[in-house]
Amino acid sequence: MKLGAKATLEMLKTRFSKRMLGSKTVLGVDISDRRINLALLKKGKNGIELLKAASGPVPDGAIKDGNVEEPAILSKAIRELKSRNKIRTRQAVVSLVAKPVLMQMMDVPKQVPTRMSKFVQNEVRRCVFLSGKEAALDFYKVGSAKRLTDTRVFIVATDGQKVAELTRACSQAGLSVDAIEPPLLAYTRAFYDKKIATKFDCNVLLAIVRCGVLTLCAFKKQTIDFVRTKDIGKEEISPDELCTWLAEQINMVIKFYDVEVPDSAGKWEITVIADSGQLPDGAEETLKDKTAESNLQVRTAEDACQDTFVGPGSGSVCSSAAAIGLAMKPLVVDGSKLRVNLLPPEAAEVKAVKKHALITANIVAAVLLLMILVSGVLALVIKSVNENIAYKKQAHLLKGTNTLLRKQESIEKQIVQLSGAPGRLNSILSLSHDVDWVRILDDVKGATPKTVQITNLSSKDSSSMRLEGLAVSYEAVRLFVDMLDNSKNIESASLINAEKRSAGDRLVGYSINCFLTSEGKDS
């Protein structure tokens, strides 16, 4: 019975762990200076499906200069947007809201004097804007650069206090955050299958104009190879001027690859994603002319969704490819392999504790439900048996007194069998009045290990008794014999027999003969 209960609990724990920790529904939360975009994705038999999408403005005062200024205001806006669109999922991946952000490729020397993480931390501390601050940092090894170094890493770092404010806002909004990552990674994940994975004969460049920052990211042979961020500036710049400046930045990257990067494909496919209204009408043709690249596309943040494999046809129409890319993080194997997460370690630990507590609570609830169901089933079975017995008794009354007596005798024998150990103990206790069975049985109880079960106790006279039962091992039987041998009211205990009942049985059957001491007899 103990083994069965333990196996049942383990099975329940495994099922609930898979259900709670391996949830197939995730919410992507993309937050910019102006908009909050939500994308609810579900992974089913037919792949990724867009269940719901929502968008709303960022309230005044919530975000200032690209940082969370008032977490309470931001959390209220997220909570209301979820409630208004009936989105109940708590598991979420959130875009990084912080300025400035260090995001770059770093070459690591062949012989790193310290551990990789320590080396990266030391390099990040040299950033002026992180001087004297606790940095939120993560990095990922992207492989050999085939230059003068063995390894390159992709690094993301920012002020840890700013990430803590974002985490607090999300927690107050009722979100259970799995990860926080820059929008670049979300766009990369969303576009990878259509824009990057199939491009074997050309380089791919993503140019993202967002929240006053230009992010340029180049992929060579389906792997990230170059990252650069440029602050557009606080001064007012017209859409035409921005378009010209953007073309210059793209040409600088192309020229760098033509001159400095060996084995460059020479051909490019360029995708520009810009917030609505930042680029002028006809920006795509202007950029093609100024960069001399015909494979160039301009997407707004809204229509960029058409470049993801989770299109509008899968469900609600989504207005943010970044929100889709964020929600995809726990659901798909990321081809770009950029596994960066800026979620503070303490927040991740609290989340793990909460998940463990939730799993435990669900297991307890399931066990209680199982007990209630079993009790209900037993009650129904007992009721059915009683009704059946009553019916049979009523029917048998017609078959004569002899038949009734035989049935009654059979029922009484069954009752005696079901009584089990108490009946056998009563027969032993009534066997002889000169034996103090209470003391002897108390000794037997104290000497019985937890791994041993007594199924039969018998005595033919007042000087000995015989114990039979089951144990989990031969060692447990020998321990039981030694414990009995050292008991006060048992003079000696000897093992008569110990063997497994069958070849596949794990339990050992035993028989032990005990001689009682004079102290075990009443004076």
Q: What is the CATH classification number for the domain harbouring 441?
A: 3.30.70.2830
**Pairwise CA distance, residues 153 & 122, whole Å:** 14
Last residue in a domain, options 400, 417, 434: 417
- Do 132 and 218 belong together in one domain? yes
For residue 200, is it within any domain?
Answer: yes
For residue 11, is it within any domain?
Answer: no
138 closest CA partner among 176, 184, 103 = 103
Give the pLDDT mean for 329-347. 78
**Pairwise CA distance, residues 5 & 26, whole Å:** 34
**Pairwise CA distance, residues 213 & 226, whole Å:** 17
pLDDT at residue 404 tops 80: no
- Do 282 and 388 belong together in one domain? no
Q: So what's the pLDDT on residue 21? A: 43
Strand-strand pairing, 268-274 and 296-300: parallel
Q: 384-399 as b/e, with b when 16 or more CB fall inside 10 Å?
A: eeeeeeeeeeeeeeee
- Do 397 and 506 belong together in one domain? no
For residue 353, is it within any domain?
Answer: no
Q: So what's the pLDDT on residue 435? A: 74
492 closest CA partner among 481, 501, 500, 502 = 481
Lowest-confidence range among 182-191, 456-465, 469-478?
Answer: 456-465
Comparing 418 with 108, the larger pLDDT belongs to: 108
Instruction: Provide CB contacts within 8 A for 159, sequence distance 6+.
Output: 98, 129, 130, 133, 134, 135, 136
- Do 390 and 288 belong together in one domain? no
Instruction: Provide CB contacts within 8 A for 242, sequence distance 6+.
Output: 209, 232, 278, 279
Query: Which CATH number is 37's domain given?
Result: 3.30.420.380
- Do 399 and 457 belong together in one domain? no
**Residue with the two structure tokens 């496919």:** 269
**Pairwise CA distance, residues 190 & 180, whole Å:** 16
Give the pLDDT mean for 88-92. 92
Confidence of residue 405 (pLDDT cuts 50, 70, 90): low
Last residue in a domain, options 343, 376, 406: 343
Comparing 72 with 364, the larger pLDDT belongs to: 72
- Do 256 and 391 belong together in one domain? no
Instruction: Provide CB contacts within 8 A for 440, sequence distance 6+.
Output: 465, 489, 490, 516, 520
Strand-strand pairing, 91-95 and 25-31: parallel
Look at the alpha carbons of 172, 176, 179, 184 in this order and tell me if their dihedral is positive or negative: negative
For residue 348, is it within any domain?
Answer: no
pLDDT tens, 470-512? 999 999 999 999 999 988 888 899 999 989 877 677 889 999 9
> CA-CA distances (angstroms) from residue 264 to 218, 225, 233, 295?
11, 11, 32, 17
- Do 201 and 329 belong together in one domain? yes
pLDDT tens, 259-298? 888 888 788 999 999 876 788 888 899 999 999 888 999 9
Q: So what's the pLDDT on residue 94? A: 95
Comparing 103 with 317, the larger pLDDT belongs to: 103
**Residue with the two structure tokens 């075990």:** 520
For residue 9, is it within any domain?
Answer: no
Model pTM?
Answer: 0.63
Question: Which helix or strand (DSSP H or E) is residue 76 part of?
Answer: helix 71-84
Structural domain span for residue 433: 420-520
**Pairwise CA distance, residues 445 & 467, whole Å:** 12
pLDDT at residue 396 tops 70: no
**Pairwise CA distance, residues 431 & 462, whole Å:** 8
pLDDT at residue 16 tops 50: no
For residue 356, is it within any domain?
Answer: no
Q: So what's the pLDDT on residue 14? A: 53
pLDDT at residue 395 tops 70: no
- Do 285 and 367 belong together in one domain? no
> CA-CA distances (angstroms) from residue 439 to 29, 47, 429?
71, 70, 11
**Pairwise CA distance, residues 89 & 58, whole Å:** 21
The partner residues of 513 in beta bridges, in order of sequence, read 466, 494
The answer to whether residues 243 and 285 touch, using CB atoms and an 8 Å cutoff, is no
What are the start-end ranges of the E strands in 191-329? 203-210, 213-220, 223-231, 268-274, 296-300
Number of structural domains found in the chain: 3
**Pairwise CA distance, residues 206 & 261, whole Å:** 18
Q: Helices in 397-432 by DSSP H: which ranges?
A: 401-419, 421-429
Q: Which of 18-32, 123-137, 458-472 has the highest mean pLDDT?
A: 458-472
Give the pLDDT mean for 163-188. 92
Q: How many residues does the chain have?
A: 523
Q: So what's the pLDDT on residue 37? A: 92
Give the pLDDT mean for 33-55. 88
For residue 471, is it within any domain?
Answer: yes
For residue 15, is it within any domain?
Answer: no
Give the pLDDT mean for 188-214. 89
Instruction: Provide CB contacts within 8 A for 205, sequence distance 6+.
Output: 216, 217, 218, 219, 250, 253, 254, 268, 269, 270, 271
Q: What percent of the chain has pLDDT over 90?
A: 32
Confidence of residue 302 (pLDDT cuts 50, 70, 90): confident
Q: Running DSSP on this structure, what letter comes out for residue 310? A: S
The answer to whether residues 81 and 56 touch, using CB atoms and an 8 Å cutoff, is yes
**Residue with the two structure tokens 């004969």:** 201
Q: What percent of the chain has pLDDT over 70?
A: 78
Confidence of residue 333 (pLDDT cuts 50, 70, 90): confident
pLDDT at residue 185 tops 90: yes
Bond preceding residue 113 cis, omega within 30 of 0: no
Comparing 359 with 450, the larger pLDDT belongs to: 450
- Do 387 and 248 belong together in one domain? no
- Do 39 and 184 belong together in one domain? yes
The answer to whether residues 228 and 104 touch, using CB atoms and an 8 Å cutoff, is yes
pLDDT at residue 9 tops 60: no
pLDDT at residue 421 tops 60: no
Last residue in a domain, options 315, 343, 371: 343
Give the pLDDT mean for 63-88. 93
- Do 368 and 471 belong together in one domain? no
- Do 73 and 157 belong together in one domain? yes
Strand-strand pairing, 464-471 and 508-516: antiparallel
Instruction: Quote the radius of gyration of the chain (alpha carbons, Å).
Output: 37
In the structure encoding, which two tokens stand for residue 39, read together? 């994308």
